[in-house]
Structures are given as C-alpha cells and as structure tokens.
Structure 1
Amino acid sequence: MVEYIKVLVVDDSAFMRKIISEMLNDHPRIRVIGTARNGKDALTKREELRPDVITLDVEMPIMNGLETLKMIMDNDPCSVVMVSSTTKVGAENTLLAIEYGAVDFVTKPSGAISLDIEKVKDSLIDKIIQASKANVKRINVVKPLERKEESKVKNKTKLKKMVAIGTSTGGPRALKDVLTKIPAKFNAPILIVQHMPAGFTKSLANRLNSLSNIHVTEAKDGDIVRNGVAYIAPGGYHLAVKKVASDYVVHIHQEEEARRGHRPSVDVMFESLASLPEIETIAVIMTGMGADGTEGLIHLKQKTSHCYAIVESEESCTVYGMPKAAMQTRLVDERVHVQQITERILKRF
C-alpha cells in the first residue's frame, strides 16, 4: 500500500491553488488533502488535516505567509515549502522564511503560465518529497567543544588559507549560524556555494552582510579575494578561483553546464581550489539534498596535502544528503553540529 505525502496548499489565488493542487496530484506519491486561502485559514486546516508538508504563499491578506510560518514553527513545527514571487521584496521575504524554518522555496510562474508551469512542477515535486523527510525540529543550543580537543587540530602551517563552504536545502539558516560567529579580522577569504536561483543570492548576501562582522557579498568576476570577506556564488553561475600574478581572483562563469543539476556547483568550486596546491583549504559541507561537493572533496584530498574537511552532523541538518555523501568517502576530518562549525574553523588558524 502506497503511503502518500499529504500536502496542504495555501495561496490567496484560487487559480494558483488549483494549478498547484493539480501539479502535485499528478505525482503517484503525493496527495493534496486540502487548500487554504490565507494564513488564518491555513492554521485551522493544518489542525484539522495534519498534513506532512504545507506549500505556503508569501503574500496573502488577513495573515501573510511569514506570520503564518512563525506560528507554525513556534507552536508545532511542520515541513513548509514557500511559494514566492521573483521580485526583490519577494526574495527578501523568502530568505526570512528560510530563517524562520521553511525547508525550501519555489518561485511562482510568471508570464505565459502554460509555458512556465512545467518548469515549476518538477522543482516543486522534488522539494515536496525532500521536505517530507526534512528535520524541522528546533536546533538546540549545544555546548562549546571540549578544550582537550585543541591539540588534535592545532594547525602550524604558514600557507595561504581559504575557507570554502557548500550547502543547499536549509543552507541560509546554516550560513547565518556560521558566518555571524566569525570575527571581523578573520585571516582568510570565505567562498560559498549555496544552491539558489538567480535573483536570490544577492538578497542572501545582503541579509548575511547585515548580520555579520565580516563583509558578505555576491561574488563578481575578477574580484580579488580578501581576508575577512565572504563571496557567495551568484545563482546560475559557477564560482572558481584562479591565480593572477600574486593575487587570487574569483572567476564567475557559465563555461560548464550545471553539475549534478546545479550551477553554481560545490564540486566546481572545490576542484578549482584543488588546482592551487599552495593553498590550505578548509572545506565545509553543510545541509542539503544530493551529493554535490563529494567529487570536489575527493579532488582536494588527492591533489593537495593541505585540505581539512568538516561536515555538518545529521542532528542539525535540515537534509542530511550532501554531508552524508561526503562522509561515505572517508575523507572527512570532522563531523560536527552546525553551531560548532565556526569554532572548528577558527581552531585551524
């Protein structure tokens, strides 16, 4: 007997409720068990129907998506996938929703809806399936690591260091946890690949920059990497690093197709660093579905003698996919709770 993923569809547009419901009901493992037209209606239906996943519109009358999401996550957490517009305000609100606990988001079709809807359909179904397996419980504050571990990880090399972070589903929250704890005078650049479409990575960089002591920016082609700056790959582009004279420079490109379905790709970023053996890389893989980063980590470990690998533990991951795949290589040096990742990075300096 098939066990269906039960979904509640919340949108103020009757047309969008119908379209989303039809898309999801086309899948043999998904059943839409109800719809709601605003946040207040959604909270009532959620109590009555107990869905596994909720699709939640961001902009609604009476009670909007952000207010609804906060009430859900504060009182009785449930997997939520946001349905967002592609406007600047829509992107900013979507990122707030991820901070509040939404598992992921999709953007609403725009323009000729009959042409756009199939693109959205596959993405939405994938995210509903992943959301049904996601860890949406509150991440408890964990104690600092024992001091006795310091001797194990004390780093005495004088090489140029770079931190490279790869993440996907649940990544914005994890990045907030890591970047906001890094001191302003951090003695290395930070390169970040977060799986996210064009239009959202700039808002993510701006949001993290407003919360962090270091400078966080969406990377631009030709940026000379600086210590104490985090560079986020723009949606739709790979991020690599190359050496130009005595500088290390960001290369943003579309010279390669999506890797494992992703552009930007963590593998591409890691592989570019593997071609720079004089760099000591701290490679970090955090929450996300799939296995992006695993091949790149293998390259880093095989081609350089100075790569230290950290992955996020299952306990704190929204989706324990990318870290799990990396662990299976047996090349990971540490697996720790997201709240301890910054501490482990700092101990390498």
Structure 2
Amino acid sequence: MKKIRVLVVDDSAFMRKLITDFLSEEKKIEVIGTARNGEDAIKKVALLHPDVVTMDVEMPIMNGLVALKEIMMKSPIPVIMLSSTTKEGAENTIKSLQLGAVDFITKPSGAISLDLHKVKNEIIEKVILANTANIRHISSDVLNKKSTLKGIRYSKIDSYKDQVPTAIGKARLTKQIVCIGTSTGGPRALQHVLTKLPIDFQAPIFIVQHMPPGFTQSLANRLNTLSMITVKEAENNEVVQNGIAYIAPGGSHLLVNKTGSSLIIKLEKSEIRNGHRPSVDVMFESISEIYDYRKIAVIMTGMGSDGTEGLKKLKSTGVVKAISESEQTSVVYGMPKAALNTQLIDKVENVEDIAASIMDFIRN
C-alpha cells in the first residue's frame, strides 16, 4: 500500500515532533520531512514532493499564508493549516482557505498546544482526506489571481410584478429563499458564488458552512468585504431581510421560522446531526416548513452526505429548484454526489457558474 507522504511545517520544534509522532502512528501515513518556517517549507516541497503538507499559520521569517500562496502557484498540493482560535488566527485561517488550503485544524490552546492530543484523530483524518482532494481548480484560481474575486455586476433584477410566479394550487408564490450547504472547500466556493450576486438581490440567503465556533464570524466579515450583498453571521431571533446572506455560527444549528409575515432566524444547540452542528439537513428541514416561498437549494463541496435528507424534505413540501456543484470543481465530491444520487437535483454546475444559475431560477 502506497503511504501518504507528509511534510510537517511549524516554527516550534516541539510541535513538529508532536505532529510527526501523531501522524506516524497511522499506517497509511509517512512523515517524510519537517520545515521550521514558510521559506523552509517552499524549499522542502520542491525537494521532497510530499502528497500533503500540514502548516502552521503564524511563523517567523515567512508565515504560512505567504508560503501557501507560493506553493499553490508553483507546485500545488493539498495543504492543511494549523491555527490558533484568536481573532487574528481566525482571520488568517479564512484567508488561507481562500488562497487554496484544503482545510484547517484549530490548536486547542494557542501556538504551543501541550494538549494537541485532543485533535490527534482530526489531524490524521484530515490528512487522509486531503490526499484525495481535488486541488486542480483551486490552484488555477490562485494562478489566475482569483483569490480576491470581485463581484460581477449583473443587470438589475426584473420587477417581480412582471414575472409569472409558480403556482401551488391557488397560491401564487412571489417570495423566494436561497439556502446553501457546504463543508470542506466551502469558503472558496462561497466566495465564487456570493461575490457574483447583485446588490439588489431579491431574496434572503441562508448558509451552513461546516466550521467550528470562532471562525464563522471571520468568514462572514471576509465575504462581506468582497461582495455587493451583505454577508453576516446569523443572530438568534433576527428578522430576515432580502439581499443579506446569513451564515450559521459555528457550534449552532440555524433554523428559519415564519412569524406573521416575517422570517425569523432561530439558533439552537440541539444534538449534532451527521457529525455537524451546524447541519445542512437541520437548516433545509426547517425551511421546508415555510410553504409560501419558492426555494433554491444549493449543495457544494464537502465530505459526507449532509443536506441530502433535508433536500428530500424540501422537494416533498414545496416548489424547490436544486443545484449541486460539479465533480470537476468540488474540492471534495461527497455532499454534491450524495445530493445528485437522490435524482432531485435540477442543475449540476461548476462553482463559478452557480451564481448565474441562482439568478436564472430567481428570474424565472
């Protein structure tokens, strides 16, 4: 069996040894080298040609972000970032995901984590997953300098009075909801989609991105600076507005309830679903209970099948158009494949074309 060859990059000798020891316990993995900073990492990648790199975000001489960008431009390979949970650490982690990192791992207690054993299994699992990740599309983004994508302005949305709404019995549906679920590779995919929606977008957008607490606020802030629509972390009991994308906070399920004529966001910490909280299924199922809206459901890159059961519920209870990301552009083709296998998907799109599909469904 061919082993996964890993390069471990960290400025701390203690952390390098700890991570190396953890990975070496897994028979599928071989640590072929270590590097003490980003500059050293670039040289070792060129020399050793590893299958996967684990890299600290914060390092002297050359930090992980600069090194990551160089690696993705010169010799793209799957990179997993290790980050602290500080505000700066979270912001840098989000930048790294948009520069091409496949995933990240949170150090439990800062730069030198004596309790790193708490995430030992996560490190091993994510290295194994990263080895199968599709990074061709990510690396082409970096080469084309799309890591800071700007919004592409569509023409103004036609007046809804001029559209022919879809009918359910006697009901005429003119209001719409967009709901998006994604996981590994999601921050980059969300950037592709949200930055291409127009400022006068006539629907609210609800997003579940699998991510731990402390990082979704930085993700929302980053996407908000790049998008024409407003992107924010969702708040409990918040009244929903069109043209705003609401990202479920890490550690909380996002549900949408209808009260009178308003939609209200509810956040809860009920049991984990599909290994996740927030869960796409939980969000989709709550939206399926809102009957006087047309819905557009989007499932993008990610491992597993979260969103599939929720999609079935959505499709059985209302007028729903469903989009899944293509295998060609998914970093991990798990969630989109599971959704496609339900035979309930209306359109399969490369990530850069999903926004246009959403606009087509909104207009028609």
TM-score by length of 2: 0.89
Matched, 1:343 2:356: yes
Matched, 1:259 2:273: yes
Once the two structures are TM-superposed, the CA of residue 53 in structure 1 deviates from its matched residue by 0.2
Instruction: String of CA shifts for 1:283-323, please: whole Å, max 9, x gaps.
Output: 0000111111001001111222x011000001111111100
In the other structure, the counterpart of 2:333 is 320
2:256 to 241, 246, 251: 241
Once the two structures are TM-superposed, the CA of residue 63 in structure 1 deviates from its matched residue by 1.1
Note if contact 2:46-2:75 (Cα within 8 Å) is conserved in structure 1.
no
In the other structure, the counterpart of 2:109 is 110
In the other structure, the counterpart of 2:146 is none
In the other structure, the counterpart of 1:33 is 32
Matched, 1:189 2:204: yes
Instruction: String of CA shifts for 1:141-182, please: whole Å, max 9, x gaps.
Output: 8xx9xxxxxxxxx97333321000000011000000100010
CA distance in 1, matches of 2:295, 2:128: 34
Which SS does the other structure have where 2:333 is aligned?
A: coil
Matched, 1:284 2:298: yes
CA distance in 1, matches of 2:118, 2:280: 23
Which deviates more, 32-41 or 130-139? 130-139
In the other structure, the counterpart of 1:273 is 287
Matched, 1:308 2:310: no
The 5 Å alignment of 1:1-349 reads: 2-110=1-109, 113=113, 116-138=115-137, 156-157=165-166, 158-254=173-269, 256-304=270-318, 306-349=319-362
CA distance in 1, matches of 2:174, 2:333: 32
Once the two structures are TM-superposed, the CA of residue 205 in structure 1 deviates from its matched residue by 0.4
Which SS does the other structure have where 1:250 is aligned?
A: strand
CA distance in 1, matches of 2:224, 2:274: 29
Counterpart residue type for residue 276 of structure 1 = I
Counterpart residue type for residue 235 of structure 1 = G
Note if contact 1:273-1:279 (Cα within 8 Å) is conserved in structure 2.
no
Note if contact 2:7-2:33 (Cα within 8 Å) is conserved in structure 1.
yes
Which SS does the other structure have where 1:259 is aligned?
A: coil
Note if contact 1:155-1:348 (Cα within 8 Å) is conserved in structure 2.
no
CA distance in 2, matches of 1:326, 1:130: 20
Note if contact 1:280-1:307 (Cα within 8 Å) is conserved in structure 2.
yes
Deviation >3 Å, runs of 4+: 111-114, 138-141
Counterpart residue type for residue 41 of structure 1 = D
CA distance in 2, matches of 1:205, 1:223: 16
Which SS does the other structure have where 1:162 is aligned?
A: strand
In the other structure, the counterpart of 2:170 is none
Which deviates more, 193-202 or 270-279? 270-279
Counterpart residue type for residue 351 of structure 2 = V
CA distance in 2, matches of 1:156, 1:276: 17
TM-score by length of 1: 0.93
Note if contact 2:107-2:113 (Cα within 8 Å) is conserved in structure 1.
no
CA distance in 2, matches of 1:250, 1:167: 19
Determine what percentage of the aligned residue pairs are the same residue. 57
Note if contact 1:270-1:297 (Cα within 8 Å) is conserved in structure 2.
yes
CA distance in 1, matches of 2:76, 2:70: 9
Note if contact 1:167-1:288 (Cα within 8 Å) is conserved in structure 2.
yes
Which SS does the other structure have where 1:260 is aligned?
A: coil
What are the ranges of 5 or more consecutive residues in structure 1 without an aligned counterpart? Answer: 145-153
> How many residues align structurally?
334
Which SS does the other structure have where 1:278 is aligned?
A: coil
Counterpart residue type for residue 300 of structure 1 = L
Once the two structures are TM-superposed, the CA of residue 138 in structure 1 deviates from its matched residue by 3.5
Which deviates more, 118-127 or 322-331? 118-127
